[in-house]
Structure 1
């Protein structure tokens, strides 16, 4: 398929999506019927609209094969279910980005895989934590508190930070960590090798696993069994240690684990 044909196909598909999203009634009906079929009376009570308005919307959806009537109930067709699933995903993605728009708008996301950006809704419960003029270390202290209360850490480390590495060493020395898996680039690895303390306490530690890659990293991701954190770089290339996303739910940890496996 040529790029022109692809563009034409996307334009046609967008027209169909626009037809649904530009109507509150059509959208609400699809979302209402997503879990299970409902009778007209149930839809009327839920949507707080007169029967005529609801029936008009149902008829429109029936015409494009998204809804069908079975006995006295209305239900989604297979096409309707698939479209509604992706519509819900779109809404959740939008809410997730909008909730933490300050974080996403100011950072470089070019190294985040496209598939993970499409599933950004998995971070919808993430909390945005930032440092302020009255608490310059708020983001960093939040991070240290989290890693100090877990047993296993998987980290994409894009910077040579003695502050962070110092705490990793402390956790290892106090036997608070069972495992520390680091993904770093060659430049960081070489810098660590030149530091006797880091070389002995981290690189030669049997609890530590190192994965070294050639490319420069622009993602600082930390994942454990019960939380994940994400910090990024500014668009100008400088690392931002003042803002962090923190999440403790299974969806966010799943998102982070996928990113770890991608790098």
Structure 2
């Protein structure tokens, strides 16, 4: 059975949740933690007469249960509530940054991470302006300077990045970096070779490469995430625009993106 057939079969059940503001709000509020009736009234801005029938409906569907004076999600309810929350976060993130997504090459992000793009909802976009150029780039360098650890994925290397990373490694900060094969080869032959030879002696520095093309830039520290992408056609890296977030969920997303690429990478030295 394909997705469309499942939708046709389950349309009424799904619409029963999404059509009702109260049902949705109750599920989302209980997804955080258990609540009393008075708390649900306050959160939803509704009366007991309005809330109680919805609670009964959710109990009949085995999505919530009452223990004492509090309402909890059942194990099945947690699955449903998480799905509802994820759907809103996903659509919200796409709409909130629609111009950014629509003008950049998303195919560089693995599908498992694209499906969880809602983790980036609490982010902001920095882009160059006439009065403020290199805004995104400057913010990335600031992130590296303030990091207590750093994971990076880069399809290009600049002197600023190289110097900032070198400083952190020499401070004893753990740094792991993944680059495409062609960049790894360039590092061995370019003006960065001396820096690389020095960094090779530090146990807190790891450099890996991927054989396939990397169509994004990622910096993940203990404090923030920065994501940069190629422009729409996938041929030009956009250093002028980036997505940034200090949200722990976004940082977690970035760490999983790094780990996904890390598994498919090989050690340079």
TM-score by length of 1: 0.80
Alignment equivalent of 1:104, drawn from 83, 101, 105: 101
Per the alignment, residue 137 of structure 2 pairs with 140
Unaligned runs of at least 5 residues, structure 2: 262-269
Per the alignment, residue 227 of structure 1 pairs with 224
Give, in angstroms, the shift of residue 177 of structure 1. Answer: 5.5
Higher alpha-carbon deviation: 185-194 or 115-124: 115-124
**1:10-29 equivalences in 2 (<5 Å):** 10-13=7-10, 15-29=12-26
After superposition, the C-alpha distances for 1:215-240 in whole angstroms (9 at most, x for unaligned) are: 00012011223322111111112111
After superposition, the C-alpha distances for 1:235-256 in whole angstroms (9 at most, x for unaligned) are: 1121111111222343222221
TM-score by length of 2: 0.79
Superposed CA RMSD in Å reads 3.0
Per the alignment, residue 179 of structure 2 pairs with 184
CA distance in 2 between partners of 1:161 and 1:181 (Å): 17
Unaligned runs of at least 5 residues, structure 1: none
Alignment equivalent of 2:34, drawn from 33, 36, 53: 36
**1:179-218 equivalences in 2 (<5 Å):** 179-195=174-190, 197-205=191-199, 206-207=201-202, 208-218=205-215
CA distance change for structure 1 residues 203 and 126 in 2, over 3 Å: closer, same or farther? farther
Tell me if structure 2 keeps the 8 A contact 1:106–1:234: yes
CA distance in 2 between partners of 1:78 and 1:97 (Å): 29
SS across alignment from 1:165: helix
Per the alignment, residue 114 of structure 2 pairs with 117
CA distance in 2 between partners of 1:215 and 1:229 (Å): 22
Tell me if structure 1 keeps the 8 A contact 2:145–2:168: no
Q: Which has the larger radius of gyration?
A: 1
CA distance change for structure 1 residues 71 and 259 in 2, over 3 Å: closer, same or farther? closer
